[in-house]
A and B are shown apart, each in its own frame.
Chain A
Amino acid sequence: MQTATQIPTDVSFLEYRKYKGIFNWILSTDHKRIGLMYLYSMMTLFFVGVALGLAMKLELIAPGKTIMDAQDYNAVFTVHGVIMIFMIVIPGLPAVFGNFLLPIMIGAKDVAFPKLNLLSWYIYILGALLVIASVLFGNGTPDTGWTFYAPYSFKSGTNLLPAIFGAFVLGFSSILTGLNFIVTIHRMRAPGMTWLKMPLFPWSLYGTAWIQLLATPVVGITLLLIILERVFGIGVFDPALGGDPILYQHLFWIYSHPAVYVMILPAMGAISEIIPTFTQKHIFGYKAIIGSTLAIAFVGYFVWGHHMFTSGMSGTAQYTFSILTFLVAIPSAIKVFNWISTMYKGSISLQTPFYWAASFIFIFMIGGLSGLVLGALATDIYVHDTAFVVAHFHFIVFGGVGFSFFGAIHYWFPKIWGRMYDTKWANTGWLVFSIGFLALYSPMFYLGMQGMPRRYYDYLEEFHAANILSTLGSWVMTFGLVIIVINLVRSAKHGPKAEMNPWNGKTLEWTVPSPPPVENFEEIPVYGEKDGPYEY
């Protein structure tokens, strides 16, 4: 081990410079730098996604054409969806916080395959560039929606090929990250850290990694089939050539439903770390949370058909998928009850990460319970393809993942940058953001129940008032977002120096300096009989 002796243990990973300038980042195989590279690239793309979202909401402030026509609106919601789903929420927590924290939390110096890890980031960037290319070049921006449904995806005259291929490439990044994490967790846990002593965030990454590894290839092949269909007209999905468009929906959702758990499981994992720290209490039902993580990951493979209740699937398939979908509610509820039981009689300290975690539970409950309306066959037919669905999945995907992501970044901020943010501004940002979020998405539940369809740039006069509220909400939420981001960016440079363990957390990342040295630990920690991740 020659390299180990060359790398200093008293220099933080941010100060350690092996190359010149930017090469310290783009050639680094340090899991922490790679995590931050994902964070910075995702934040950049996120602002594009937010801008497109704002444009859609502005269009919907009044009936009729406001700022764009129907074709532009189709393009905007497609690109918004592709960016937000494939580039932000799916890789989100695993690529950023998983990369940064997984090795530290299990007491390892890096992930199992550091070079593969860097390659995953390059693949991610390549995929993102391909999608951007489909917007900038060719005849028209993709307009099929992020799902690339057949027959739109082979009938549309727009520049779809690079976008579909980009989504395919992004999938590879996800598969390789999942593979890396599985091997890391199996082989590189600190001595004495048995499976049932591993913290819950790594556990959630483990469940997630299996989904990334097993489900992503399905969408990869499906997207390739769409490309072949478009280029050669082979007729897998085109009914005119003897194909079956419903088959596309099956194949697409076999991946894309489990992908929802790629997003939400690590989000739940981060919440399971924040809550014990800010209640200074052992997590309630540690094993039950692990069990529910694995149960969600497992059952999540078999519920994809709930996206297809109205597409002409057989009745047998419909009620099978409905029952299986309802099963997912059980492990999800187990987690919620355990988080709440952890708070019970704990010494709760009301700090920014805890606010995010507590509001996560609230938002996630609304998202989850509205999911039952969509999982039930009869009610789904009523609200299918309405604004109700848009509200539901924004509560889950943006509410669930977003709130957890912001909770996580405020929780691990002092560890990552070694500095503290301004708490007052952070709390203000949270409050403004939450109010805006609720104002933006809650009216859509109402609109959907009233029958306003999704993906239309126009609507009837009777939907006007609720749409105005929703658009105002989008402005408030963006304002909150700006407060949060400015506060964090400023503090990462100029904030007061943070201690090693500002929150009195008990997991291993709080035993190393802030920010951590290049190889995390001077000596690999050894877990004793009585050690555990939440021993308060």
Chain B
Amino acid sequence: MSNEKHHIVPYRTYIFVLLALIVLTFISIAITHIELADYTVAGALILASVKTFLVLTFFMHLKFDKPYMRIMVGFVLAVFLAVIIITFLDYYYR
């Protein structure tokens, strides 16, 4: 909407985020060479979560949006987490 203030993000920020994402991608490849056994999946998921956080916050402008946007995204993540937990009620106790 034209009557709302637009936040202008400097290019520098975007480049930093891009670099961070590239570095994280290489890290997630690198750690597959280390023998982590059961923690391999956990490691990959944690790195992916950090990348998701960066994309949502900067590229998708969550940082500069009204708080209700963040609440909605948080709610979605909570639903997702609940679905995962409930699924594991089957796998863990089977």
Q: Please, which residues of chain A bring their CB within 8 A of the CB of B45? A: none
Q: Please, which residues of chain A bring their CB within 8 A of the CB of B92? A: 314, 316
**Contact residues of A between 202 and 247, Cβ < 8 Å to B:** 214, 246
Given contacts A214-B76, A214-B79, A301-B79, contact A320 B86 (CB under 8 A): yes
- In the bound assembly, the distance between CA atoms of A142 and B89 in angstroms comes to 33
Asked whether B89 lies within 8 Å of A314 as measured between CB atoms, the reply is: yes
Q: Please, which residues of chain B bring their CB within 8 A of the CB of A436? A: none
Asked whether B89 lies within 8 Å of A302 as measured between CB atoms, the reply is: no
- In the bound assembly, the distance between CA atoms of A400 and B94 in angstroms comes to 36
Asked whether A313 lies within 8 Å of B79 as measured between CB atoms, the reply is: no
Instruction: Please encode chain A, from 315 to 327, with 1 for each CB lying within 8 Å of some chain B CB and 0 for all others.
Output: 1110011000000
Q: Please, which residues of chain B bring their CB within 8 A of the CB of A314? A: 89-94
- In the bound assembly, the distance between CA atoms of A301 and B87 in angstroms comes to 12
B50 part of interface (Cβ distance < 8 Å)? no
- In the bound assembly, the distance between CA atoms of A301 and B85 in angstroms comes to 12
Q: Please, which residues of chain A bring their CB within 8 A of the CB of B94? A: 312-314, 317
A87 part of interface (Cβ distance < 8 Å)? no
Asked whether A301 lies within 8 Å of B89 as measured between CB atoms, the reply is: no
- In the bound assembly, the distance between CA atoms of A301 and B86 in angstroms comes to 10
Q: How large is the interface on B (under 10, 10 to 19, 20 to 34, 35 or more residues)?
A: 10 to 19
Given contacts A214-B76, A250-B87, contact A315 B82 (CB under 8 A): no
A254 part of interface (Cβ distance < 8 Å)? yes
A98 part of interface (Cβ distance < 8 Å)? no
Q: How far is the CB of A262 from chain B (nearest CB, A)?
A: 15
**Contact residues of A between 276 and 315, Cβ < 8 Å to B:** 298, 301-302, 305, 312-315
Q: How many contacts A-B (CB < 8 Å)?
A: 39
Q: Please, which residues of chain B bring their CB within 8 A of the CB of A321? A: 86
Find the A residue at minimum CB distance from B88.
A317
Give chain B's interface secondary structure class: helix
Instruction: Please encode chain B, from 1 to 21, with 1 for each CB lying within 8 Å of some chain A CB and 0 for all others.
Output: 100000000000000000000
Asked whether B89 lies within 8 Å of A317 as measured between CB atoms, the reply is: yes
B30 part of interface (Cβ distance < 8 Å)? no
Instruction: Please encode chain B, from 71 to 83, with 1 for each CB lying within 8 Å of some chain A CB and 0 for all others.
Output: 0000010010011
**Of B1, B82, B90, which one neighbours A301 at CB under 8 angstroms?**
B82
Q: Please, which residues of chain A bring their CB within 8 A of the CB of B76? A: 214
Q: Please, which residues of chain A bring their CB within 8 A of the CB of B91? A: 314
Q: Please, which residues of chain A bring their CB within 8 A of the CB of B86? A: 302, 305, 317, 320-321
Q: How far is the CB of A352 from chain B (nearest CB, A)?
A: 39
- In the bound assembly, the distance between CA atoms of A89 and B92 in angstroms comes to 35
**Of A302, A305, A317, which one neighbours B82 at CB under 8 angstroms?**
A302
Q: Please, which residues of chain B bring their CB within 8 A of the CB of A246? A: 90
Given contacts A214-B76, A313-B94, A314-B94, contact A320 B89 (CB under 8 A): yes
Find the B residue at minimum CB distance from A301.
B79
Query: Assuming A301-B82, A316-B89, A317-B89, what are 7 further A-B pairs, CB within 8 angstroms?
Result: A187-B1, A246-B90, A250-B87, A298-B79, A301-B79, A302-B82, A302-B83
B-contacting residues of A (Cβ < 8 Å)? 187, 214, 246, 250, 254, 298, 301-302, 305, 312-317, 320-321
A-B pairs, top 8 by smallest CB distance, nearest first, are A317-B90, A314-B93, A316-B93, A314-B94, A317-B89, A313-B90, A314-B90, A316-B89
